[in-house]
Structure 1
C-alpha cells in the first residue's frame, strides 16, 4: 500500500447519499435523480433504507426536501438537496476520498489500486463518483458489476468545476418560461443580462437542473485569469469523455497553433452533439479570450446542434456573436428584481424575523427586489432593515 493512503472497505448509505446529492453529474438527468426513488437507484440502496436516512438527515439539517413537478409523474414529488451544513459534510467526505484507495477490477485487466476520487477521472465512460462509492465492496471496485445493471437510456452530463451549487430561488417563473421558449426556438444563443447579484447564475443553474434539457452541459465561469488554453482544455475534456477526440488530440500535440484548424476540428467534434454551452460572467473574459471565442466557437455557424447561454452584466459588443447568427436571431433576456411576493418569500427564507408585512414590503420596494440586497437585509437584523426603510 502506498504511504499516506488507506484502504477503504466500503461506503455506508449516508456517505453514498451525500456523494450523490453533491455530484453535478448525478443531478444532470433532472429532478428525478433527487427523489427517494432516484437516490435509491443511484446509490444501489433499498428505497426504505434511503427513506430512513433522508428523514434523519432532514432532522439534522443536512438535507432539505421540497415539493416539485418531476417529469414522468402526475403529482408533485419530494426532491432533496443539501443544505449548507450538508455541503460542508459532503466536502469533508470528498477530501477524505483523495487519500482512500480501493482495488479496481475489470474484465480483461489486472487488478490495480486506485485513489477513489481519481477513478471517475480515469474511467469517465464507466463510472461517476456516486456510482464508484456505491459499488465499492470489501475494498474492491468490480466494474464487471456494471454490465449487469440495466441501461437507462442516454445520460446527459454536466461538466465544469464552476457549475454552481443549486440553491432555492423565488419567483422567476416568467424568466424560466422565457428560457423554455428560447430553447424551443431556432435561436442559437441567448444572452442573459442583469446587475451583479440579481440572480442570473442562480436562474440558469436552476433552469438546467429543473428542466433537464436533453443536452450535455458545459459550464464555464470566466475570470480575468481564464485563458484560451484552459478553456479549450476543459471543453476538450468533455468532448473526449463523449467520444469526440479530434480537437483534444490536435491540441495535446500542437497547443493553440493553427486556430483555423482548431475551429474546423471543433466543428467536426460538435457537429451532431447535443450540447448546451454556458458562458458565465462573460464580462470578465479577457480580450484575448473573447478574440479566441470569436475565431473558434462563435464562428461555427449554422448546422450545429449546440446552443450557447451567455451570462453577462452587459450585452456583448456588436459583432461578437455575428458568426453564430448568420440570419438567425440572437435572443436576450434582461433580468430585473423580484416581485413583492417573491421578495417577501426570500426575506423569510433568509431569516428575516420581522412581524409587520408593511415593513417587509417597504424593504422590498427600497431595494427594488434585488435578491442580494434582500439577503443582506434579512441577515442584518432590525438595524439594517430600519436603514433600508
Structure 2
C-alpha cells in the first residue's frame, strides 16, 4: 500500500517534545525556540500582489537582498541562484531528493541535526563521518557555525580542510547555517562554500532564529550545476513559498533598524547563555561536562556517568520540564549519556527550576 521507504520513517522526537511545551508551567529546554518577547510585532501595508501566485524561486526583491548579503560573506550567489524556501527543512528535503538514493554515502557530523538525519534516512542514506570519510561520500552535510546540537563552531583550518576535500573528491557540500547571526564571541564564521570556487555546493540559511519562525521562510543558494535541478524539485512539491511571509521578512530585513535588531538579539541571548552557564555549574557540576557555546541556542551536556537519557524524558515532562535526549542526534549507533539543552526560551527563574528538576532526576537514576 505504501512505498518501501515508508518502512524506515520514524516520528521526529523534537516534534513530539514540542507538542507538550505549551502546557501551563512547562519549562522547555527542548526545541530551539526564540524568546517570545524577542519576536517582532509587525504592522505594514499589504498590496494585492502578495495575495497572488508568485515565482517558485521566490520574491525577486527578497532574493536580491539575500544575494547581496551572501556575496558580502564571500559566497558566489547572484540573485538568479538564490531560492526562497518554505522553511529550511524544505531545503534539506530538496537536497536529499536530488542526491540520495538507497545506500548513498552521506557524510555528516557525529552528532548532527536530527531533522536532517530523519530526512536523509527516509531517502536511504548510508551515514559516514564527515571528519574521516567526506571524500568517499556523494554529499557532505554540516552545520559548522554554532552547530546543532553541540553549539560548536568549526575553526578556519577545519573549514579550509573540508573545502579542499570536497573540491578534490567532487563531494557536494551542503552547508546549513541558521545560527550565524547569534554570535556571542569573535570566531571565524566565513562560510565553507565561500572557500570552494569551482566546486558543487549548497548554502542554506533561515530567518527563523533572527526574526519569526512561524513565517516559515528560509533560503538557499547553490552552485550553477545544482540550482536548476533543485528548482525543478521545488516546483514539483511547492508552487512557491508564502508571498505574504516573504513580504513581511523583506520589509523587516531592509528596515533601517535591522542591524540594531540583530545586535540586540545577540546581546539578549548572550546574557541568557551566561546565566544558564552559571545555573549549570550550580546544578550539574558533579553530573556532566560541557563547553560554553560561542553562539547559537544550545548547551551540549555529556554526563559523567553513562545513562540513556531517553529514559528520563517522560519523567521530566511529568515534572514539568522538557529537554532533548542526545541519543537522537547520532546517525548510527547512539552515544549514551548526552543531552541538548536550549537556553534561549526559558527565563532565568524557570531555567533554574527546570535544571534543578533534571539534576534530581539524573541523581535518582544514578542511585
State if a TM-score over 0.5 links the two structures: no
TM-score, normalisation: structure 2: 0.27
Q: Which structure has the greater CA radius of gyration? A: 1
